[in-house]
Structure 1
Amino acid sequence: MGFRTGISERQRRFGEELRRVRDVAGLSALEIGEALGVKGPNISHTEAGRLGLNSERLNAWLDICKVTDPEYRAGLIAMSESTGKGWWTEFKHDVIPRALDLAEVEASATALDSYETLLIPGLLQTRAYSEVMQGYNERKVEFRQQRQRILTGENAPPFRAVIHEAALHMMYGGPTVMRDQLNHLIEMSRLPNVTIQVLPFDCTAYASNDTPFMVARGSHTRLHTVLLEHPHGSTFVGDPESVAAFDQKFDRIRGLALPPLSVSTPAPSTTYRDSMGLIQHIRYKVQGG
């Protein structure tokens, strides 16, 4: 089998997990290779995602490393056997590989947690808002629209979003686009699996809330993935320590944010502040008072 010319995030993460369990077991690549009947360099290539691993050798690898958790093993087997193909495949010439990886990660996630600072989360954007963000590239806009179907499809995963108030004031596309976008947030909050909160400007505590990120929860806690946004692109992070740190960060930001949007629960008093009230206030200003 030849080396892969393009390594997807799933393939990279699969190799990373194999290396991690080997390290925990205190075994070298040479020792694993001898046990599996393959050359040591092939083990390194497998851990780098350049080579795949059949089910027989994968199970042998996990047995040698004494990995007994059935859910974790099942998750690794699913990653190994996946073809990586889905609705996103038809967009492989239209979007960057990282976008394809994100769609695949979202498709297999059991839950999604998103924090955004200056933008509305992609899964909650209207088409008009997405058009502005994507430079009116129709294929990229359609790709984002397709991603959003995960929130309304069968077995839709829970999606929790915290949006900084700054994103609600950015007039991307003009007042009409933003008014419709704010209305869309309210409508999306009606979905039973969607929870939306706003982190207000007047929050007095700092929770390291300056970097957008999303936590995609896998079939096992050891298979969670963090998508970290930064000025030079995006990075997927999967080591347990980093995932745990972002888990804690998200929980802290949620705790500092206003109570979630709710169209069915009236405010208990005129002085009560929640995400719905803030969005309605901003929408009123956008509409010109």
Structure 2
Amino acid sequence: MREHSGLTVADAGKEFGADRTRISNIEAGRVGVSADRIRALAAIYAYPDSAHVETLARMTEERGKGWWEEYRGTLSTGALDLAELEHHAARITVLQVVYIPGLLQTEEYARALFGQTVPELPPLDVQRRVSFRMQRKRVIERNPATPCKFVIHEAALRMIFPGRDGQRRQLERLVEMSEHDGVTLHVIPFAAGAFPGANSSLTYASGPIPKLDTVSLDTAHGSVLLDAESHLENYRSILLRTLRISLAPSESRDFIRNTLKQL
């Protein structure tokens, strides 16, 4: 909003009655901001998009009240941000190549996955992360569920993890969830060949309004959130192209069932 107005951080601080550090901290998300202050800043900036302003104002009312807050101080900020992002999203699209998406994982699969963390996690920390991941499924289980589209590569289906029986139970869960209201599941078979984003594990969260769309990238160091339009456009293109080469939902379900038979 400030950039749209052409004001500098120092100018904004003077108009708002705060120093430039305060403005910078608000913009970087290092400090909270109330609905009244969002509206006040928008007025100072003569920002014309009232829908954007009011959506942000409504979000402040829920700040600090989500279920994920019970994990604050014990899990990374990135993990909490991802749960909050999923909670507020109007739609969620996930691309996973090597692992089953977190929202579709069985508890057994998640536990084995966190057991592979380097450095190795103590049992209590593994349990805390598993519990957190299972609670993230609320976005699918609530009524109405958040519409979720999952694009999963065959590599994730073929990896024997955690063990043959565990992978079989995980694939059975995928078949079950593929018939769940609000869930659309696509498989990219090996036969599709190379595709853009093959090295990506990402979640595209469509916000209540397009200006609040956000991409979460899953990296070895945790989640990274991106919201610049240039980044969003790139990842929208990646998802569109992966969907073009993936199997339709009914074909994907049959593909998973056939994979199950081969285990």
Common fold: TM-score over 0.5? yes
1:201 aligns with 2:201: no
Q: Which residue of 2 aligns with 1:145?
A: 134
SS in structure 2 of the partner of residue 202 of structure 1: helix
The structure-2 alpha-carbon separation of the partners of 1:140 and 1:208, relative to structure 1 and needing over 3 Å to count, comes to: closer
Single out whichever of 101-110 and 32-41 deviates more from structure 2.
32-41
**Cα separation, 2, equivalents of 1:206 and 1:143:** 32
Map 1:133-212 to 2 at 5 A: 133-135=113-115, 137-212=126-201
1:31 aligns with 2:11: yes
TM-superposed CA distance for 1:205, in Å, is: 4.8
Contact 1:72-1:220 within 8 A present in 2 as well: yes
Letter of the 1:114 counterpart: V
Pairs aligned (count): 254
1:83 aligns with 2:72: no
CA offsets, 1:109-142, max 9 Å, x none?
1111000010000000111111111226222211
Contact 2:216-2:223 within 8 A present in 1 as well: yes
TM-superposed CA distance for 1:91, in Å, is: 2.3
**Cα separation, 2, equivalents of 1:53 and 1:259:** 44
1:105 aligns with 2:89: no
1:282 aligns with 2:259: yes
Contact 1:205-1:256 within 8 A present in 2 as well: no
The structure-2 alpha-carbon separation of the partners of 1:234 and 1:55, relative to structure 1 and needing over 3 Å to count, comes to: closer
* 2:21 equivalent among 33, 41, 44: 41
Map 1:216-235 to 2 at 5 A: 216-235=205-224
CA offsets, 1:62-111, max 9 Å, x none?
12323222321112212334332321122234432211111111111111
Letter of the 1:123 counterpart: L
- TM-score if structure 1 supplies the norm length? 0.82
CA offsets, 1:212-261, max 9 Å, x none?
1001111110101100122333211111221121112111111111111x
State the Cα RMSD in Å.
Answer: 1.7
**Cα separation, 1, equivalents of 2:162 and 2:41:** 53
Larger helix proportion of the pair? 2
Contact 1:71-1:219 within 8 A present in 2 as well: no
**Cα separation, 2, equivalents of 1:151 and 1:43:** 37
**Cα separation, 1, equivalents of 2:74 and 2:12:** 40
Question: Which has the larger Rg?
Answer: 1
Percent identity of the aligned residues?
35
The structure-2 alpha-carbon separation of the partners of 1:55 and 1:140, relative to structure 1 and needing over 3 Å to count, comes to: closer
Q: Which residue of 2 aligns with 1:118?
A: 98
The structure-2 alpha-carbon separation of the partners of 1:54 and 1:277, relative to structure 1 and needing over 3 Å to count, comes to: closer
The structure-2 alpha-carbon separation of the partners of 1:53 and 1:96, relative to structure 1 and needing over 3 Å to count, comes to: closer
Q: Which has the higher contact order (CA 8 A, sep 6+)?
A: 2
The structure-2 alpha-carbon separation of the partners of 1:86 and 1:26, relative to structure 1 and needing over 3 Å to count, comes to: same
Specify every segment of 5 or more residues in structure 2 that has no aligned partner in the other structure, as ranges.
Answer: 116-122
**Cα separation, 1, equivalents of 2:236 and 2:137:** 23
**Cα separation, 1, equivalents of 2:51 and 2:156:** 38
TM-superposed CA distance for 1:40, in Å, is: 2.8
